[in-house]
Amino acid sequence: MPLIDGIIAMKDEIQSWRRDFHSHPELGFKENRTADFVAAKLEEFGIQVHRGIGKTGVVGVLKVGNETRAVGLRADMDALPIVERNTFDHRSTHHGVMHACGHDGHSAMLLGAAKYLSQTQNFRGQVNFIFQPAE
């Protein structure tokens, strides 16, 4: 399957979001900074935002046209209670908490999809971008 040029063009931005999430990990139901970041980005993309879902969860809703079809795309936001031993610049700044499970990548990729779909609107129906706490 060929890659989408518009998403490839966002590679550096998506990577910066992932690194930000990675360096600021939060445990389940404590993803306040992450939820704020996600909500701000969704609003920046012109996507309707619902906060406080399952305490710290965020759902973005993008509707194009009048069709009733809908899809949900989900990412988890929480980190694990693990001490990170990496030495790269974007390592965890919260001792004893780390994104060792890939949720930083999941959230960054879902934000990338949200940005791409909000820009192109090359679909009809509703997309629900679900950022889940405490997976």
What band does 127 get if pLDDT is binned at 50, 70 and 90?
Answer: very high
Place of tokens 């939060």: 26
Task: Tell me the fold of 5-132.
Answer: Aminopeptidase (3.40.630)
- Looking at residue 59, its pLDDT comes to 98
Expressed in angstroms, the distance from the first to the final Cα of the chain is 30
pLDDT tens digits, 38-71? 999 999 999 999 999 999 999 999 999 999 999 9
Provide the residue ranges of all domains of the chain, joining segments of one domain with +: 5-132
State pTM to two decimals: 0.95
Sheet holding 48-53, edge to edge: 48-53, 57-64, 125-132, 70-76
pLDDT (average), residues 113-117: 97
What band does 2 get if pLDDT is binned at 50, 70 and 90?
Answer: confident
pLDDT tens digits, 68-107? 999 999 999 999 999 999 999 999 999 999 999 999 999 9
Cα–Cα distances in Å, from 130 out to 49, 84, 111?
Answer: 10, 27, 10
Place of tokens 């889940």: 132
Question: What number of CA atoms fall less than 13 Å from residue 100's CA on the CB side?
Answer: 11
What band does 3 get if pLDDT is binned at 50, 70 and 90?
Answer: confident
